[in-house]
A and B are shown apart, each in its own frame.
Chain A
């Protein structure tokens, strides 16, 4: 094939010109004619809510555009810390070590969410199996391998459990859901999972090797992995509950600290929230897992916006403050939250969050 230097050079010049002109189009915060573009990334549990919030907010405030992404809480924290995005969404609050490394970070709760344990057992998906923290820890360490194990049978008398191999599914990415689930396992198994030699809790833990286990990315990936694997068990955020139940998957009644087996309903979540929100410190980094109250659902959390107190410009900071305040007030109304089964923040927490938002400059 003949290749002449001139035609090749011309082609290269055209491609280069096109690339350069397109490169000028995007940037993290573009400001033209007073409009601000905010980037949000992180928790896939919060993502469905952000997908509802973003267009609703822009409809009323056309000068601020928000782009949400669902990439996992670990990425949300990391990207907010290094300034790639303005708002990092995370189900997990930042660790003390992370806060000392980056003292200017704010963990601002926006709503209360929860997590459920889902499974795919043909014939039993319409039933709510009873599962305890001890049984779940033993499943995820490979000590319980079959659904008809004696320990599961003991919690579910009268249920015809099949001789089906359990496939424990966990998150491969840095995940706030992993944080919540592993915290529940740590608090309910303080001498094994929660001990210094156990996996303990974090957005990314060292999962004990279980030969049949699988990993998935994002809450969506967890639901998909469950659908494809009979006998699978996975921890999924509550914003995916309706969709997963529609797909025919089942979810469990989990044992709380008081020894009861509860389902994640608005009532049980709110009971847990009420018993623990009093302990929320000023920086709002607190765990709401495994509270002592009766009738409380043990795996709930604040959905955090991880924001750097120092933003790139005062215009951006103002836009961030405006949006977060909107999220706490209008965004916390049932018309938004009910679609994802979240609960609004109690008024005392809203005040604490507003105090933190004011620090964004």
Chain B
């Protein structure tokens, strides 16, 4: 039987328990950061600033027996680690994904909220959310089977025929594996997220303002431009940043279509690339053959850079989105 004392005690227990669980996620993030720092520390000592600017990824010569020492840590002779190609690959593929996904996703959001009747909009919404749930490896497999041959034989030659004056589009197309394929696969993956969030943000535009605009004689598109989009701007921006954060960290699908390039920068949009996340996976087995362990530490340093990058991208996005939600709540 629930006496007042019992209810108060239960309330306190729940407060403490949820506090622990919520704090637990912060603790988990801090623990990951500590683990990454500890595991990558030898590589930070060995490579220094060159890690972010050098193009060469070399685990050194394991069979020569010689060992280099630098700052007190050992690595096989000739080992030198630089991740500039991977940073560039990550940024470029995410940029292509965002450029392709944002117009499409905002368009889908507008369609779902402004143009379709509620019932149709809801079932289409459901479909968009299902698309977000597809595992990335499935999309990667689709990329290998369908997208890459199409880029190699169809899209690539067409782009060169129509836009060949742009230097970045000229040059060998190769098999289709590369930057463009990665960008397209990422665009497919982030469109549902941006579309769903945009739809939610657009729905919160106050009804009276929209009706007022329509009442003044604006067409639907003019109303969207004058009322919905400005109102939702920060929320849509937050959604885009969220999508960007997903694109930066996406591993599996990109690993399958990017071509796993090491030691060179992309020459054109069809060049094979390496991204930070995909490189950690593709180089892990090779790194484990290094008896000094430096190669694995270097991979941990890539993970650290990726971790920092994703926090830097995701935190402002979340703040923007929660601010937009609060504003939407106030207006109701």
Q: Which residues of A contact B (CB under 8 A)?
A: 71-72, 74-75, 77-78, 82, 95-98, 100-102, 165, 167, 172-174, 196, 200-204, 206-212, 214-215, 217, 225, 228-229
Chain A CB count within 10 A is highest, among B63, B177, B283, for B63
Interface residue tally for chain B (C-beta within 8 Å): 36
What separation, in Å, do the CA atoms of A97 and B288 have in the docked complex?
Answer: 13
Q: Is there an interface contact between B291 and A202, defined as CB atoms closer than 8 Å?
A: no
What separation, in Å, do the CA atoms of A95 and B76 have in the docked complex?
Answer: 11
| 8 Å CB contact of A200 from B64, B260, B292 | B64
The residue of chain B having its C-beta at the shortest distance from the C-beta of A77 within the complex is B289
Q: Which of B38-88 contact A (CB under 8 A)?
A: 55-59, 61-65, 67, 76-78
Surface stretch bound by A, among B222-230, B262-270, B324-332: B262-270
What separation, in Å, do the CA atoms of A258 and B260 have in the docked complex?
Answer: 37
Q: Is there an interface contact between A206 and B59, defined as CB atoms closer than 8 Å?
A: yes
Q: What A residues does B59 contact at CB under 8 A?
A: 202, 204, 206
Q: What A residues does B292 contact at CB under 8 A?
A: 97
What separation, in Å, do the CA atoms of A203 and B283 have in the docked complex?
Answer: 12
Q: Is there an interface contact between A211 and B63, defined as CB atoms closer than 8 Å?
A: no
Minimum C-beta distance from A105 to chain B (A): 11
- List 9 A-B residue pairs with CB atoms under 8 Å apart, sorted by A's residue number: A101-B291, A174-B289, A196-B64, A196-B78, A202-B59, A202-B289, A206-B57, A211-B172, A217-B282
Q: Which residues of B contact A (CB under 8 A)?
A: 55-59, 61-65, 67, 76-78, 152, 172, 174-175, 177, 259-264, 267, 271-272, 282-283, 285-286, 288-289, 291-292
Minimum C-beta distance from B130 to chain A (A): 14
Q: Is there an interface contact between B285 and A200, defined as CB atoms closer than 8 Å?
A: no
Q: What B residues does A96 contact at CB under 8 A?
A: 63, 65
Q: What B residues does A207 contact at CB under 8 A?
A: 262-263
Query: Are A74 and B288 also in contact (CB < 8 A) when A97-B65, A212-B174 are?
Result: yes
Minimum C-beta distance from A348 to chain B (A): 25
Query: Are A72 and B285 also in contact (CB < 8 A) when A165-B172, A201-B63, A228-B175 are?
Result: yes
The residue of chain A having its C-beta at the shortest distance from the C-beta of B171 within the complex is A211
The residue of chain A having its C-beta at the shortest distance from the C-beta of B55 within the complex is A209
Q: Is there an interface contact between B289 and A204, defined as CB atoms closer than 8 Å?
A: yes
| 8 Å CB contact of B282 from A172, A201, A206, A209 | A172
Q: What B residues does A172 contact at CB under 8 A?
A: 260, 262, 282
What separation, in Å, do the CA atoms of A11 and B113 have in the docked complex?
Answer: 34
What separation, in Å, do the CA atoms of A78 and B59 have in the docked complex?
Answer: 15
Q: Is there an interface contact between A214 and B259, defined as CB atoms closer than 8 Å?
A: yes
The residue of chain A having its C-beta at the shortest distance from the C-beta of B261 within the complex is A215
Q: Is there an interface contact between B57 and A200, defined as CB atoms closer than 8 Å?
A: no
Q: What B residues does A202 contact at CB under 8 A?
A: 59, 61-63, 289
What separation, in Å, do the CA atoms of A101 and B76 have in the docked complex?
Answer: 13
Query: Are A200 and B286 also in contact (CB < 8 A) when A172-B260, A208-B263, A211-B264 are?
Result: no
Q: What B residues does A82 contact at CB under 8 A?
A: 288
Q: What A residues does B78 contact at CB under 8 A?
A: 196, 200
The residue of chain B having its C-beta at the shortest distance from the C-beta of A215 within the complex is B260
Query: Are A214 and B63 also in contact (CB < 8 A) when A95-B291, A204-B289, A228-B175 are?
Result: no
Q: Is there an interface contact between A209 and B264, defined as CB atoms closer than 8 Å?
A: yes
Chain B CB count within 10 A is highest, among A82, A203, A208, A210, for A203
Q: Is there an interface contact between B286 and A174, defined as CB atoms closer than 8 Å?
A: yes
| 8 Å CB contact of B289 from A71, A200, A203, A210 | A203
Minimum C-beta distance from A173 to chain B (A): 6
Q: What A residues does B64 contact at CB under 8 A?
A: 196, 200
Q: Is there an interface contact between A214 and B62, defined as CB atoms closer than 8 Å?
A: no
What separation, in Å, do the CA atoms of A95 and B77 have in the docked complex?
Answer: 13
| 8 Å CB contact of B174 from A201, A209, A210, A229 | A229
Q: Is there an interface contact between B262 and A97, defined as CB atoms closer than 8 Å?
A: no
Q: Is there an interface contact between B285 and A74, defined as CB atoms closer than 8 Å?
A: yes
Minimum C-beta distance from B82 to chain A (A): 11
